[in-house]
Structure 1
Amino acid sequence: MTNTSDTRCGLVVLDMAGTTVADGGLVEQAFAAAARELGVEPGSADHAEKLAYVRATMGESKISVFRYLFGEEALAQRANVAFEKAYGELVDGGRIAPIAGAREAIEELRGEGRTVVLTTGFARVTQDAILDALGWRDLVELTLCPADAGGRGRPYPDMVLSAFLRTGAVDGVRDIAVAGDTAYDMLSGVRSGASVVAGVLTGAHDGEALRAAGATHVLGSVAELPAVLRGVEG
């Protein structure tokens, strides 16, 4: 569908964990498993420092986080494999659920003729595990992880711009809306040129952090997004 209106957000790019998917702090649990794999002692100052960095960079590509924390590529890859394995096991154990109203909001957006894309900082194997666990394989037109967009995740705009290029849903980047729960989601949306960059309060970061990173709107949850977009367009 080609967008013909200067004000219509015909492409909506949504984050997953914390935005459309409630994972109950599984990132931190999976990080603990990765840290153990690399000999970081639970309760140590090193562990606390690394966990603080993980919290501060929620939304970033996880391999990028581990490259920063562990330096050597081989160590970062070991940590990432352990993280993805632990997170996948938690997902398989039924530890995730949709954010209340998320599926309905996505269906409403699609019903209005918008193209919806789901993005994540996780690897593809983990993203697919989440989609399978929720029964969301056919919910949206496209799903993207950092590897699908050249390897750089947030805060770079690459996944948003890949959604723009791969769907052909709109004529320009100003016709994109981005929603997420972290400052990195907001930075990614701003850098992509999206006209609506909505932060949601169901995940990692608070309203102050979201606004500081460039949010044009701060919402209680993604369930509010369809009405917000209609208001902007109206």
Structure 2
Amino acid sequence: MAVFDMAGTTIDDGGAVYRALESAVASTGATVDPGDLQTWMGTDKVQAITALLELGGVAPTDELVTATFARFKSELAEAYRATPPFAFDGVPEAIAILRSRGIRVALTTGFDRDVTDGLLASLGWTVAQDPAGEISDTVTLDAVVTTSDVRAGRPAPYMIHHAMELTGVHDVRAVLAAGDTLVDLEAARNAGAVAVGVLTGALSREALERGPSDHIVDGVAVVPDLAETRG
């Protein structure tokens, strides 16, 4: 199975999620350090907001976190309406190639289910009803796991393991997980999967090399070329 992150990895949203998260947290009066923002990207967004509020000097009460998360979702939705996200070059083709080889393809994300479903609908991407997996002209996935579906998001391995559960994959040694943040790599390593960093997000190769990666590649488009996916 190949497991991919969404924004910054398979989907180009122009950095909208970064801007929406920074804006929502800053609206509370918290100071948002760029390094802290990057550290918490890729994690569950409620968890990220809680941490960024505290780091920015604002007490993260339940009420404030809930309100800030609602603002984040509203700002992100507006950004996506103004400038719809799209797949990175070669990603639909890579997904189709992997699935044609019998490799299941799942997406995991730090978004909740509401945001994720809206994003997938705007892209026209669907989840196969039959886990054996039909192949079509549109992007078809075998599973999509959000932070709404597990007890904890990245760097916990639960989303990857839940994707395995949904697709009937039993051996973590047969799983590759790719993402554009350090927590993506940490989650892959914690899950026991092959960890792949991609350079389509905000981090440089040098920054990604600080994480626990097995490969660092230009993007998901070249994942079918990796030895682990050639069958």
TM class by smaller structure: 0.7 to 0.9
Where in structure 1 are there 5+ consecutive unaligned residues? 1-10, 41-45
Q: 1:115 aligns with which of 82, 87, 104?
A: 104
CA distance in 2, matches of 1:205, 1:163: 25
Aligned residue for 2:105, secondary structure, equals: strand
Check conservation: 1:37, 1:82, Cα contact below 8 A: no
Counterpart of 1:65 (choices 21, 43, 48) is 48
Amino acid in structure 1 at the alignment position of 2:113: R
Name the CA distance, whole Å, in 1 between partners of 2:163 and 2:75.
28
1:77 maps to which residue? 66
* Structure 2 unpaired stretches of 5+: 54-59, 128-139
CA contact (8 A) 1:91 1:129 kept: no
Q: Aligned-pair distance for 1:53?
A: 1.5
Change (3 A) 1:187 1:81: same
The root-mean-square deviation of aligned C-alpha atoms, in Å, is 1.7
Deviation at 1:211, TM superposition (A): 2.5
Counting only pairs closer than 5 Å after superposition, residues 30-109 of structure 1 correspond to structure 2 as 30-35=20-25, 37-38=27-28, 40=29, 46-49=30-33, 51-70=34-53, 71-109=60-98
Q: Residues 204-219 of structure 1 correspond to what in structure 2 (within 5 A)?
A: 204-219=202-217
Counterpart for residue 4 of structure 1: none
Structure 2 length normalisation: TM-score? 0.86
- SS of 1:95's equivalent in the other structure is coil
Once the two structures are overlaid, the 10-residue window that deviates more, 159-168 or 23-32, is: 23-32
Q: Which structure is higher in RCO with an 8 Å CA cutoff and minimum separation 6?
A: 1
- The residue type equivalent to 1:178 in the other structure is A
Percent of aligned positions that are identical: 34
| Whole-Å separation in 2 of the counterparts to 1:31 and 1:47 | 12
Q: Which letter does structure 2 place at the counterpart of 1:164? A: M
C-alpha distance 91-72 of structure 1, shift in aligned 2 (>3 A): same
Q: How does 1:181-192 map to 2 (within 5 A)?
A: 181-192=180-191
Q: Is residue 44–residue 111 contact of structure 2 (8 Å, CA) maintained in 1?
A: yes
Quote how far apart the aligned CAs of 1:14 are: 0.5
CA–CA separation in structure 2 for the residues paired with 1:208 and 1:120: 23
**Deviation, structure 1 residue 210:** 2.1
- Tell me, yes or no, if the aligned pair for 2:25 and 2:52 is still in contact at 8 Å: no
Residues 1:17 and 2:7 are matched in the alignment? yes
The 4+ residue runs of structure 1 with deviation greater than 6 A are: none
The 8 Å contact of residues 25 and 68 in structure 2, kept in 1 or not, is answered as yes
The number of equivalent residue pairs is 213
> C-alpha separation between the residues in 1 aligned to 2:224 and 2:147?
26
1:99 shift after superposition: 0.8
After superposition, the Cα gap between the structure-2 partners of 1:229 and 1:63, relative to the gap in structure 1 and judged at 3 Å, is farther
